Chains A and B, each alone.
Chain A
Amino acid sequence: MFGRIEQTDLMLSIDDSYEQLIQREWDHLSRPGTWLDGERRVGVAAAARAARNGETARAPIQAALVEAARRLTVEPATVTLEWIEALAAEGLDGLTYIEVLGICSRLAAVDTFLYGIGQPERPLPTAVAGSPTNAQVPEAELNGGFAPTVGPASPLSALSAIPPGREAMFDLHETFYLSLPEMGQLDIVKDLDRAQLELCAARTSALNECFF
């Protein structure tokens, strides 16, 4: 999908698990989603990158999608219910917002990883034609969060109203960090020992002003 990445001395080598995860995420990004088609999904990703790079978004998507991508990428700690309600007034409903949240958060993960290891940003994929599924999750409702979840709002239920997005989140979580079963193992070693893993996690969260 990406062609050969020109390896330089400055880049760290990564094994197949990381490379395949990125390819799965790019494939998922390019395809029609639940509420957004592939073109708008890639457009959201492009807007997110533009925001992070201090550039003007050029993706032909509605302004509410651009604004959602911007804030979720560069200042997520400032998200408020009022802001989400304002997006809804501009036509970005809660379920579509969840889909945007998934796209932007996973893109931030991949792009930060690539930056850290010294690889260039991967070109965004070409959108695959097709219609979104519009698959409703009847159990999803407002439950302590700003947007619908299945069960109480939590890190694990964050994307539960968009099951493919949630699966992609867990896929990335397991590859980059730990699987859910592994999280219960306080003495696990995954390249780093558990304490080192948690120090990375905690410092990242502190920098993002995320107190959870």
Chain B
Amino acid sequence: MLRASCKNANRPHNLGAIGNPTVDSLLQGGAELLASVDAAVLRDDHEIEEARAALVERLGEAKAVRVFAVAGNFEMMNRLVDGLGVQPTKASQSIAGDVGVPYNH
């Protein structure tokens, strides 16, 4: 959906940032967004406050809240999919290399 939405808007993007947050996603606030998702999902007590503050400074409070809400939603969805044993689509498997997350199942 990231690739589809960027293509729809004719926006540059780099899927490699999904697997490696040091890669520039080419999206506004991408670096701050990724750092915040990482800190929240990984429960990084050392990083979360700095990441959150940088995210708010870059995008504003409402957008920052949405970042954490989306991360929360996919914490749910990932568990539903894995808990049920739903296999990834062929489309997902085919772009594993582009996003820098090898599919080894």
Contact = CB atoms under 8 A, between A and B. Distances in A.
Contacts of A158: 80-81, 83-84, 86
Interface residues of B, number: 69
Given A18-B65, A203-B33, 12 more contacts: A18-B69, A79-B83, A109-B72, A116-B36, A187-B5, A187-B8, A190-B66, A204-B37, A206-B18, A210-B74, A210-B77, A212-B92
Q: Interface SS of chain A: helix, strand, loop or mixed?
A: helix
Contacts of A199: 2, 17-18, 25, 27, 30, 33-34
26 contacts: A10-B52, A12-B68, A13-B61, A13-B65, A105-B76, A105-B77, A106-B76, A109-B73, A118-B49, A118-B52, A145-B85, A147-B84, A154-B86, A175-B69, A192-B67, A193-B5, A194-B8, A195-B9, A196-B67, A199-B34, A200-B67, A203-B21, A203-B71, A205-B78, A206-B19, A206-B101
B72 A112 contact: yes
Given A176-B72, A211-B93, A211-B105, A101 B79 contact: yes
Contacts of B92: 211-212
Contacts of B4: 186
A197 interface: yes
Nearest to B52: A118
Interface in B8-22: 8-9, 11, 13, 17-19, 21
Interface string A161-199: 000000001001101110000000011001111111111
